[in-house]
Amino acid sequence: MSSKHKATAVVSGGRDSKWTKGVVNPPVMRASTVVFESVAQMKQATGNRANQTLFYGRRGTDTSFAFADAMVALEGGEGCAIYPCGTAAITGALLSFLKAGDHLLMVDTAYEPTRDFCDKMLANLGIETTYYDPLVGAGIEALMKANTKVIFTESPGSITMEVQDVPAIAEVAHRHGAIVMLDNTWGAGMLFDAFAHGVDISIQAATKYVVGHSDVMLGTAVATKALWPQLRENSYLLGQCTSPDDLYLAMRGMRTLNVRMQQHQENALKIANWLAHRPEVDHIRHPAFSSCPGHDVWQRDFTGSNGLFSFVLKQGHQKATTAMLDGMRHFKMGYSWGGYESLILAVYGIERLRTATEWQTQGPLIRLHVGLEHVDDLIEDLADGFERFNQAL
Ligand SMILES: *Cc1c(COP(=O)(O)O)cnc(C)c1O
């Protein structure tokens, strides 16, 4: 099922009557064992196991088939592999397309656990990783090797929010026979059309905006027609499967994804504009702001923004940011984002997470996830926070 408008896709995706049997929502189907009425039926299901057929619980149930359909309706592509968390989706996709002796180009601003996986597990498996500048664009060509199989992108980058020229990177990759993977968690399938911009595998921590309520861990990888059979087979081989209760909650979250994103965007833009005028703030790292590296690419390729962005302070030390964060009423401290609630994080030691580029900013970086609370309450919370910050300076 493909819908032209994302707002429609998130409402209608996965609701084929073959899964819903006539009720609105696909039911939670708990299963390990599937029992067959005859040898012939068992044989048929076994032969058909790649095609959304009940066969054995690990291979999927009506709940997972419906959720996979919904993700394909949202993102496009041919099929969706489902993983127990976003990190498993990233590692599962990489393991599915890399083998010993291969070379991987990994963006320098990747989510920290993605980097860790490359440096620890992939290195041990004989797969070489080269990190590259998120703003490299077509310049990625100079880093290509004969054995480069995957270019991994994440746009905007984790914490520092650099927006990547994915089409330019994809053009080079495809000319050299490599594939492009994207950590599309920020875009959430809503703000960036991965496949229209040359991505071969679009990965999400559905944990974030798709689930949207901070109560489920889930990952997805949607592949093009050409790559889907290999991704599906390898995610089966890795034994990846997820609970139908979690998938049900994820589908329920997805139904309001469009309206939630609009409100996250509106609240975040108001707060970012307010922050831009604060004397303490050096610059805003929000893709919709010209102070954000890659802003022009965001304008060209994205259809909007969400609740997640960062800002850099002119000066400050840990004692001052701690005084600010410790007293927040609405912005709670937490590592995740994408739920309905506001979160705040002071990030230290960014230079430790970068090897191909240098993080030269002097002041501390604060990352916000702007939730669905009334924006005036959130601004008041931040204003009081700055008062504590300034007192502790
Ligand atoms: C949270 C996150 C992940 C990992 O997702 P989990 O479900 O927590 O494993 C991957 N990429 C990005 C950009 C994330 O923010």
**Residues 178 and 265 both lie in one domain:** no
**Span 215-238, average pLDDT:** 97
Q: Decide if pLDDT at 2 tops 60.
A: no
**Residues 169 and 315 both lie in one domain:** no
pLDDT for residue 376: 98
Q: pLDDT tens across 146-178, in order?
A: 999 999 999 999 999 999 999 999 999 999 999
The verdict on whether 335 is a catalytic residue reads: no
Q: pLDDT tens across 40-71, in order?
A: 999 999 888 778 999 999 999 999 999 999 99
Q: pLDDT tens across 108-138, in order?
A: 999 999 999 999 999 999 999 999 999 999 9
Residue 127 vs residues 121, 230, 231, 315, 362: alpha-carbon distances, Å: 9, 19, 18, 41, 35
**Residues 232 and 294 both lie in one domain:** no
- Which of these is catalytic: 111, 131, 132, 248? 111
Tell me if 219 is assigned to some domain: yes
**Span 217-238, average pLDDT:** 97
**Residues 317 and 341 both lie in one domain:** yes
Distance 196 CA to ligand 1 centre (A): 23
**Residues 247 and 296 both lie in one domain:** no
Q: Domain ends where: 236, 254, 272? A: 254
Tell me if 198 is assigned to some domain: yes
Residue 2 vs residues 7, 70, 211, 222, 226: alpha-carbon distances, Å: 12, 9, 21, 14, 18
**Residues 211 and 268 both lie in one domain:** no
The per-residue pLDDT of the chain, averaged, comes to 96
Tell me if 1 is assigned to some domain: no
- pLDDT category at 25 given cuts 50, 70, 90 is very high
pLDDT for residue 361: 82
CATH number of the domain that residue 203 is part of? 3.40.640.10
- Which of these is catalytic: 208, 260, 367, 388? 208
- Show the domain range for 366: 257-392
The verdict on whether 56 is a catalytic residue reads: no
Distance 182 CA to ligand 1 centre (A): 12
High-pLDDT (> 70) share of the chain, %? 99
CATH number of the domain that residue 369 is part of? 3.90.1150.10
Structural domains counted in the chain: 2
**Residues 231 and 261 both lie in one domain:** no
pLDDT for residue 49: 77
Residue with token string 């944990």: 207
Q: pLDDT tens across 322-373, in order?
A: 999 999 999 999 999 999 999 999 999 899 999 999 998 888 999 999 999 9
**Residues 178 and 273 both lie in one domain:** no
**Residues 228 and 84 both lie in one domain:** yes
